[in-house]
Amino acid sequence: MSKKLIVLFLGLVPLLCTCFSPDTPSDRRVLVLLDDFAIKSSHSIFFNNLKSRGFDLDFKLADDPTISLQRYGQYLYDALILFSPTIERFGGSIDAAAILDFVDSGHDLIVAANGNASDLIREIATECGVDFDEDSSALVIDHSGYAVSATEGDHTLIASDDFIKSDVILGSEKIKAPVLFQGIGHSLNPSNSLVLKVLSASPSAYSANPKSKLTSPPSLTGTSMSLVSVVQARNNARILISGSLSMFSNRFFRSDVQKAGSPTKHDKSGNEQFVTELSKWVFHERGHLKAVNVKHHKVGEVDEPAIYRINDDLEYSVEIYEWSGKTWEPYVANDVQVQFYMMSPYVLKTLSTDNKGYYFTAFKVPDVYGVFQFKVEYERLGYTSLSLSKQIPVRPFRHNEYERFIPAAYPYYGAAFSMMAGFFIFTAVHLYHK
Amino acid sequence: MARSTSKDAQDLFRALWSAYSATPTNLKIIDLYVMYAVFTALIQVVYMAMVGSFPFNSFLSGVLSCVGTAVLAVCLRIQVNKENKEFKDLAPERAFADFVLCNLVLHLVIMNFLG
């Protein structure tokens, strides 16, 4: 019996070691919830791509009564893919609140909707700051930016190339061809500052039912409408919300694309590159920063002091690395700043870097004493936010550390002593004068 | 009304000087002492205006020692003046003892603040 347990445990060790952790922040175990298993084959390129990058995909039907996200308080998965746009109720113990808890505990989420998205999927999206068009029969229509196609004439298949300008989210390589999109549009909640438009609709797009005549102005129009959005929560959990499930499909990956009005015909749509790069970002293979070895000391010393004196010269250094999916690579930027902070920043300095991840600077402690903090607040589009703070007290001069006998003050000393001498002489004269 | 001339001013100063000449010598000595203190204070203020206020505590103590000395000397002068009926019950020795004591306290404070 005990032998069996040991074998079981040894079998579990590699599994446990590949979990999400601060040291290796990429996700490993991914739960994929599907409407039906046909999606598994119709979207196989996307799934195989994930598998080849080392993800362990667990396919389940969304209404499978045995599915659960956590067991004994431990999450079983690092990320969740919801390819089940029509599901009204998840099976097992999963509901919208469970999924939001999953995100709140730092896990990642990909949600894809389509034309007949259920209220449940809409609710999850709304909680993430994305409001899908309320008209359930509406699709995004674009009469000038549609993809030229022999079979479809209602201009709901859109070739979109209005990407977010961010190398970290979409990769340093330019997306070569327009992305095919067929689905519903959404607007971003203006009170949510964390949600970003990754693929926005063209100025001529609008959201309406393509089968019926347009009677009232569409609620979502133009570039304010988003097709694909991402969220990076304050706990660095990442969410991808797409209004189109077919954007991930093999058919769209393989399809050629010609945007209406454009003479160039691309042999292959930009979907595969776009979705792959975006999933790398969502699953923390890119743009995940860590800061280590925060050090500070007086100039010329090595050890970190327990307290600084006003006007001390000090050196501050920190190492910042970016996770590349396999290893921690040095992060290179020229805009990392450190604050010497007490209620407000007294010193704000941009850190110099040696381009190997080492950031350093030197500055003089201000002429103010109190309890200060070294603060690095680094928030850049697409990167996880860095928030470091280290407390350090600053004391005034000791009474014997002040300068004595300053040459500039000799006239004052002279005056004070001459007043004393004058007092003696005056006393003598006053007393002996008769 | 007669026009004032420079001769009037001269007359005025001469009259003042002759009136002051009648002052007892011990009061004249105190006046000299007060002028010495005020003059030293002025020199320091001019010096500070040129050099800057860096050792400000030294400047303050230098000037205040002069001002304090002048104030104490004026107080002494009021008390030992025979013409002043207000202090006719106060012995000049007592007034001088007060002056010495106050000076000691003043210079103690100045020495502490000077460095």
Q: Looking at chain B from residue 67 to 86, which residues have their Cβ under 8 Å from any Cβ of chain A?
A: 69, 73
Residues sharing a CB contact under 8 Å with residue B46, sequence separation 6 or more, in sequence order: none
Which pLDDT does position A21 carry in this prediction?
A: 60
For residue A327, give every residue at least 6 positions away whose Cβ sits within 8 Å of its Cβ, in sequence order, or none. Answer: none
- What is the structure's pLDDT at A2? 57
Q: Quick check: A235 and A124 in contact, CB under 8 A? A: no
Residues A161, A262: Cα–Cα separation, whole Å: 12
Q: Is residue B2 domain-resident? A: no
Measured between CB atoms, which of A404, A412, A433 is closest to B44?
A412
Q: Is CATH 3.40.50 the classification given to domain A2-282?
A: yes
Q: Which residues of B touch A426 (CB under 8 A)?
A: 29-30, 33, 73
Q: Is A402 exposed, middle or buried (0-12, 13-18, 19+ CB in 10 A)?
A: exposed
In this prediction, the residues of chain B whose per-residue pLDDT falls under 70 are 1-2
Tell whether B80 is covered by a domain: yes
The answer as to whether B97 is a domain residue is yes
What tokens appear for A308 in the block?
Answer: 């600084």
Residue B106 in domain:
yes
For A425, the closest chain B residue by CA position comes to: B33
Q: Is B69 helix (H, G, I), strand (E, B) or coil?
A: helix
Closest by Cβ to B29, choosing from A404, A418, A429:
A429
Residue B77 placed within a domain: yes
Q: Residue B84: inside a domain, yes or no?
A: yes
Mutation site for A-interface testing, chosen from B69, B74, B76, B105 by largest number of A Cβ within 10 Å: B69
What is the predicted pLDDT for the residue at A422? 95
Choosing among 3.20.20.70, 3.30.420.250, 2.60.40.1930, 3.40.250.10, the CATH entry for A288-399 is: 2.60.40.1930
What is the predicted ipTM? 0.92
Task: Look up the domain containing B79 and give its range.
Answer: 25-114
Residue B4 is assigned to a structural domain of this protein = no
Q: What is the DSSP letter of A403?
A: -
pLDDT by residue, tens only, chain A of 434 residues: 555 555 555 545 444 444 456 667 776 899 999 988 999 999 999 999 999 988 999 999 998 888 889 888 889 999 999 999 988 889 888 889 999 999 999 999 999 998 888 899 999 999 999 999 888 888 898 888 888 876 667 888 888 888 998 888 998 888 888 999 999 999 999 999 899 999 999 999 999 888 888 888 888 888 899 999 999 999 989 999 999 999 999 999 998 888 888 888 888 888 999 999 999 999 999 899 999 999 999 999 999 999 999 999 999 999 999 998 888 999 999 999 999 999 999 999 999 999 899 999 999 999 999 999 999 999 999 999 999 999 999 999 998 888 888 899 999 999 999 999 999 999 999 999 87
Burial (CB < 10 A; 0-12, 13-18, 19+), residue A376, is buried
- Which residue of chain B is at minimal alpha-carbon distance from A433? B26
* Chain A residues close to B30, C-beta within 8 Å: 426, 430
- In the block, tokens 């010609």 appear at A258
**Number of structural domains, chain B?**
1
In a domain, B74, yes or no: yes
